[in-house]
Each structure stands twice: as structure tokens, then as C-alpha cells.
Amino acid sequence: MAEPGQLLILIIACGASFIMAWTIGAGSSGSTPFAPAVGARAISVMRAGFIVGILGLAGAVLQGANVADAVGTGLVGGVSLTAPAATLLLLLAAGLVVFGVFTGYPIATAFTVTGAVIGVGLGLGGTPVWAKYIEIATLWILIPFVGGGISYITATVLRSDNVPERYSISILGGIVGLVLANIPFTLLGSASSGASIATALTTKLPVSPLIGEVLVSFLFATLVAFVLLWDLNSDVEAAQRHFLLALGGLVAFSAGGSQVGLAVGPLLAAFNAASLSVGIPLIVLLLFGGIGLLAGSWMGAPRMIKAIAQDYSSLGPRRSIAALIPSFTIAQTAVLFGIPVSFNEIIISAVVGSGFSAGGAGLSTQKMLYTVLAWIGSLALAIGIGYGVMQAIQIIPPGFI
């Protein structure tokens, strides 16, 4: 049974976690998924904020476990985050993100939370987990090149007069369907990470798992492609908007699955470190964080949606589609491997790539530079302040942390 003082600190940690979830919902997960769709005028700013909140909550519950576990226990070795330490790092990271929300510059939440966890953990006397850092850094560095490159190629093909649009968009829809059939969902399967649609349906077929998953994936992709083709044959512009909104929804769902771990991961570590008579199930923490994402999306996301949609590029439906496809794929890759990832970085890189397909029209080089500097600065600042504050606290009588 935890002491009254420890329970009070846990309550404060929960409050800090909710604030962090709110800022994430208002910032990266709430603003970036539908920003290209808003830029293409396929949906209004306020409606986008409403829908993304609901989908983010669903993604948090169904896909949030991997990243939450990685953030809570996988970034620093040798120590466990205590409730006071979790409270400190969450408030630090949330403060940096709030600064970004109200200044209009999209501070990367993954950078601030990851930096705060590492700084505070090392300040507690932990050891670096270099293998995980290399894995995270590799993905962060590759995102602009992979996401931007795929977006550029896709936008170029969609804008080409040599490729009939009804075929190019249908094929892209099939690719999205293929990815969707193979992403994990918590409720599908007995493992903590869940199982994919293809894996779950294969258990019902009288074939080997490999053949079954390939067959289900192919059928799922083909179904999506044919539905899109039918829609395109009816009305091309309407079909573009439908596909664009579906992609925005998938990215919003993926954002919830990845970003909720940044808010509840440290809280998970704090509860694990506390001596409670009754454990707190991870699904409860994910739901708690998902509600925070929902609140932030509804209350604070419209400002950031407008900033990303209008300040970075004037997108049409084709370039918006090109930006969201790699964003969805990269996001699900990060969720699968439990890597904290910045949705600001993913979307902005894809938007820039699609913008270059039109000669860079509408892109603000100055805005891009300020954004990158804000990302790097927030990571370094979070590590430095987290480490410095924890070192300073060691002067306080033993037992406080």
C-alpha cells in the first residue's frame, strides 16, 4: 500500500500526464493528420479538430501499448522513473509544447518527451540505452528523406497527364489497404501488442499462416482499390476528397496510437515503481491519455491545423493525398516497433516533398528553418534541463526522489 505522500505525488503525476496529453492533442496528433486535407479545402478546420479527437482516442486505446512501454521503461537503463521524476519530465515537456502551440511553431512532442525522459533518467543515475537511441535517431533522420521522397514521387505521378488518375489513385488505395490489413490492433489477438486483421482472419482459414496472411492482405487491398475505382468512375473530384479524408482519418488514428505513449509512458513507469495493492491496467492509462488527446484536439488543435495547412504549402487534393500516404505508413511503422515519433516531422516532411513536385510553390523556407531549429532546440533543452534539475534535487535530503 502506498503512503499518503506517495499517493499525492501519483495524483500530481496523473495531472501532469493529462496536461501532456492535452498539449499533444492540441499540437502534433490533433493538428497534423488533417492539415493537408484542410489545405486542400476538403474539410473545415473546426470539423477536422472534432473528428481527429475521436479517432485519436480510438488509436490511443487500440495501438498505444508499444510506444507507452518504450517511453516508460526503454530509454534509460538501471533505474525506474519515480512519480516525482515522471511529474517533472511531463511538466517540462508539456511546457515546451505549449510554447509551440501558442507561438504557431510546431514543436515536436516526441523530441521534447524523449529528451525529458533521457535527461531526468540520467539525472537519477541511470545509464544510456545506446541501441534504442540509435534506433530512434535512425528513424528520425530517415523520416524527411523517406517521407518527403515518397510524397514527391507520388505527387509527381498523380499530377502527370500520362497516368490516368482513376488508375493511379486506385493503386494507391490498394497499397493503403495492404498496410491497413497488416497493422496491429490491441483487441485482435492475445498478445499485448495485439494482432493484424490479416493474422486474425487467417486463423479462420484452412491454410498455413503465411499463405493465409498473403491471401487476406491481397483481397483486402483489392477490395479497397475496386471501391476507389468505382467512386472515381462516378465523380473524380468527389472521390479525391473521399480518399483524402479517409487518409486523414487513418493518420489521426495512427497519431493517437503513437502519441498517447508520450503522455502515459512516464506515468506507467511511475505506477510500476509505486507500491500499490492494486495494479493499474495499461488499458486504463491508455484510455486516460486518449481522453486527454480528445480534449486537446477539440480545444486547441484548430490553431495549429491552420498554421500547418496555410503556412507550409498551398496544397491541392493530389499533393495532399501524396503527403498523407507516406505519413500513414511511417506512423504505423513507428507504432509497430515502439518508437516515439514526431507527427509534425512526418507530415511537414511529406508536405514539403509534395510541394516540390509543383516546383516548391507555396513553401516557406524561413518557416521550415525555424521549425527544424525548434525541434533540435527542444530536444537539447529538454535533456539539459531534465538532467540539471534532477542533479540539483540530489542535494535535497535522501528519500525525496
DSSP-derived pairing of the beta strands 184-185 and 195-196: antiparallel
pTM score:
0.85
pLDDT confidence of residue 193: 63
Q: What is the mean pLDDT of the chain?
A: 82
Per DSSP (E only), the strands in 115-254 are 127-128, 184-185, 195-196
pLDDT confidence of residue 312: 45
Rounded to whole angstroms, how far apart are CA atoms 345 and 100? Answer: 14
pLDDT confidence of residue 208: 84
Rounded to whole angstroms, how far apart are CA atoms 66 and 262? Answer: 11
Residues of the chain with pLDDT under 70: 1-5, 28-31, 36, 39-40, 100-101, 103-106, 189-193, 273-279, 303-304, 306-315, 358-367, 395-401
Per DSSP (E only), the strands in 111-151 are 127-128
b/e map 105-138, b = 16+ CB within 10 Å: bbbbbbbbbbbbbbbbbbbbebeebeebeebbee
pLDDT confidence of residue 313: 47
pLDDT confidence of residue 307: 66
pLDDT tens for 324-367 read 899 999 999 998 888 998 887 888 788 788 877 766 555 566 66
DSSP-derived letter for residue 82 is -
pLDDT confidence of residue 291: 93
Rounded to whole angstroms, how far apart are CA atoms 319 and 314? Answer: 9
pLDDT tens for 6-15 read 778 788 888 8
Rounded to whole angstroms, how far apart are CA atoms 3 and 247? Answer: 48
